[in-house]
Amino acid sequence: VFVKGIPFLNEPQEEQLRRDIANGLYAELTTQMKDEFTYVTSKIEANKPDENKKMFKVDYNPSINLLINYMFVQKLRDHFERIENLWIEAMGNEIVASLLDAEEFQERKLNSYRECEATIDYMKGFTRIFEYLVECRKPLVGFNMMLDVLYLYNQFYQPLPTKLNKFKNGFLELFPESYDVKSIIMNTKKYFPELTDVFNCGSLSEAHENFKRNEFLLSFLYQPVIECELFLRIAHAMAMREVRIPKDAPTWNKLLKSVEECRNHINLIRANIHYLDLESDFIQTDRPKHLILSCKNNSQPLCIDIISSLVSIHGLVDVKLYDRNRCLIATGHYKA
């Protein structure tokens, strides 16, 4: 699987690729590589290595895709299988055909699994970074992470399960600690009533701009990527909120402890619950299941533009006409 030229595989896809390679089920070569195959085979046929000349090299144009190059060489080996102990391999921009003794030929054949592993390693691509993150067991930090979490699970681990609890348990096994900065902002602003304007933000860029304009939050010297910077500033503020005259900067463990109540809370946008708790099955909410505006005067239809302008002063909202006299309002700023 490729996205913008970067390969990746989840676990079932990797297993399927291994089975296909083991069974010799290779994808069709591109038109260009078919032409290369015809050219290379004709050259080797005309210059077969023998006892007098045991090696022949022919130039070829390899693909930028290592899997295609691997399949190309495998097809060449299958094509010349009839010639005893003839070994075909790619070396840079050349295909090398060598006539070996039986022992060396078998040794090369046994060691060819390394070519297979290198190809699979290439096809895993970005998945290797994902596996490294899982192995490190470090906290995962993001902003409005729901889609990111789903994407990580589906693209690099397993297809999304049909049961929510199976997904939550599976993701916790991969990443025991996740911190959604948007969820932290929404659930810690109660501790900073004087910073209401700063904490009322919809997007990552808006949150970053708000925090940069605040002298108190800007006093904490952090300059990593935006999501991590916001996380560290909020955690620092939480860790120091009961300390009048701080002597030392809080440790990393103290920073994590300060936002522990928000651990593994993945923010949900305009849902009837604030967040998805990966560790718990139940979340109490005061939000209504649906927020519907009704018009008592049936003689006039609702005007979406007027309603949108009235409610937008309270934050980001979407208004959808339900019928002539009712509309559905979606917002992330509902208050009971």
Q: What is the pLDDT of residue 243?
A: 64
Q: What is the pLDDT of residue 247?
A: 63
Q: Residue 127 — pLDDT band, cuts 50, 70, 90? A: very high
With CA atoms as reference, report the closest residue to 263 among 160, 172, 132. 172
Q: What is the CATH number of the domain that holds 181?
A: 3.30.420.10
Q: Residue 29 — pLDDT band, cuts 50, 70, 90? A: confident
As a whole number, the mean pLDDT across the chain is 86
Judged on CB neighbours under 10 Å (0-12, 13-18, 19+), 226 is: middle
Q: Residue 242 — pLDDT band, cuts 50, 70, 90? A: low
pTM, full prediction:
0.77
Structural domain count, the chain? 3
Q: What is the pLDDT of residue 336?
A: 46
Clarify whether residues 144 and 100 are in a common domain.
no
In this predicted structure, which of 230-239, 284-293, 298-307, 323-332 has the lowest mean pLDDT? 284-293
Clarify whether residues 143 and 278 are in a common domain.
yes
C-alpha 196, offset from chain centre: 32
Which of 127, 148, 166 is the last residue in one of the domains?
127
192 phi and psi, to 5 degrees? Answer: -130, 65
Mean pLDDT of 8-30: 89
Neighbouring C-alpha atoms within 13 Å toward the C-beta of 327: 18
User: CB under 8 Å to 257, separation ≥6 — which residues?
Assistant: 239
Mean pLDDT of 157-164: 95
pLDDT tops 70 at residue 283: no
With CA atoms as reference, report the closest residue to 278 among 144, 133, 114, 168. 168
What is the extent of the structural domain holding 193?
138-286
Mean pLDDT of 322-335: 76
State the helix-helix crossing angle for 146-156 and 164-174, rounded to 10 degrees.
80
Clarify whether residues 148 and 259 are in a common domain.
yes
Determine contact, residues 183/262, Cβ cutoff 8 Å: yes
User: CB under 8 Å to 237, separation ≥6 — which residues?
Assistant: 192, 216, 217, 220
Clarify whether residues 96 and 34 are in a common domain.
yes
Please give the single-letter amino acid code of residue 161. Answer: P
Q: What is the pLDDT of residue 223?
A: 57
Determine contact, residues 154/201, Cβ cutoff 8 Å: no
Q: CA-to-CA distance for 141 and 180, rounded, in angstroms? A: 6
Q: What is the pLDDT of residue 190?
A: 86
CA distances from residue 121 to 7, 15, 64, 107 in whole angstroms, order as listed: 10, 12, 15, 22
Mean pLDDT of 61-82: 92
Q: What is the pLDDT of residues 288-298, one digit of tens each?
A: 667 788 888 77
Clarify whether residues 213 and 299 are in a common domain.
no
Q: CA-to-CA distance for 333 and 317, rounded, in angstroms? A: 8
For residue 33, the SS3 value is helix
Q: What is the pLDDT of residue 26?
A: 77
Mean pLDDT of 124-133: 94
pLDDT tops 80 at residue 285: no
